[in-house]
Amino acid sequence: MIRTNIVNLPDYPFNGRKVIRSLARMVKKVEKVKGRHVLSVIFVNEEEMHQINKQYRNIDRSTDVISFAEVDSGYDHLPYELGDIFVNTDRVKSQADSYGHSEKREFAFLILHGMLHLLGYDHQTETDEKRMFALQDEILNRLAIERKGTERK
């Protein structure tokens, strides 16, 4: 099980909590994640994301999603904290419009991207990027969250 703590979820024309939980279940299944886990998804605006990026990554601009992995507490009886995912709510809409797909698809893509970072995936090399993005596409397709606004409701 991957339990999700959701903070400041804005109103969207879809059930954001359901999307997050579906993503967590599918990631656990596809990646064969064992045990109990917890992750937090925190929604912030453009200005807040800029400050987080500047403070913790020393990058003086905003971004769409940032994830911070937790360190294992060492307590086997407690759920393992995967970490925190910060999602820029302003970018969900603007990037969906820019890429020509639904807000739901962009929302899911950004959260999934953060989840995979928490599991150790990155895109520092072309090979790693291809692997990570192929996995993102596979998971989104399994959940019928597709580009161009064609996903099932």
pLDDT digits (tens, 9 = 90+) for 61-104: 999 999 999 865 555 555 578 899 999 999 999 999 999 999 99
pLDDT tier at 41, thresholds 50, 70, 90: very high
Is 88 inside any structural domain?
Answer: yes
Query: Which is higher by pLDDT, 1 or 28?
Result: 28
The number of distinct structural domains making up the chain is 1
**Of 86, 19, 9, 84, the residue nearest 46 (C-alpha):** 86
- Whether residue 32 lies inside any domain: the answer is yes
In a domain, 49, yes or no: yes
pLDDT at 13 over 60: yes
Burial letters 20-39, b for 16+ CB under 10 A, else e: bebbbebbbeeeebeeebbb
List, in sequence order, every beta strand (DSSP E) within the chain.
Answer: 2-7, 37-44, 65-69, 80-88
| Cβ–Cβ < 8 Å for 105, 145 | yes
Q: Does a structural domain hold residue 109?
A: yes
In a domain? residue 153: no
Q: Which residues contact residue 15 at a Cβ distance below 8 angstroms, ignoring those fewer than 6 apart?
A: none
Percent of the chain with pLDDT over 90: 73
- CATH assignment at residue 81: 3.40.390.30
Domain annotation covers residue 13: yes
Measured distance CA(66)–CA(110) in Å, rounded = 9
* C-beta neighbour count of 55 within 10 angstroms: 9
Residue 152 has pLDDT above 50, yes or no: no
The parent domain of residue 128 ranges over 2-148
pLDDT at 79: 59
Binned at pLDDT 50, 70 and 90, residue 151 comes out as: very low
Report pTM.
0.88
Residue 1 to residues 31, 67, 86, 121, 132, Cα–Cα distance (Å) = 12, 20, 21, 20, 22
Q: Quick check: is 104 in a domain? A: yes
Could you read off the pLDDT of 99-138 as tens digits, one per residue?
999 999 999 999 999 999 999 999 999 999 999 999 999 9
Mean pLDDT of 15-31: 94
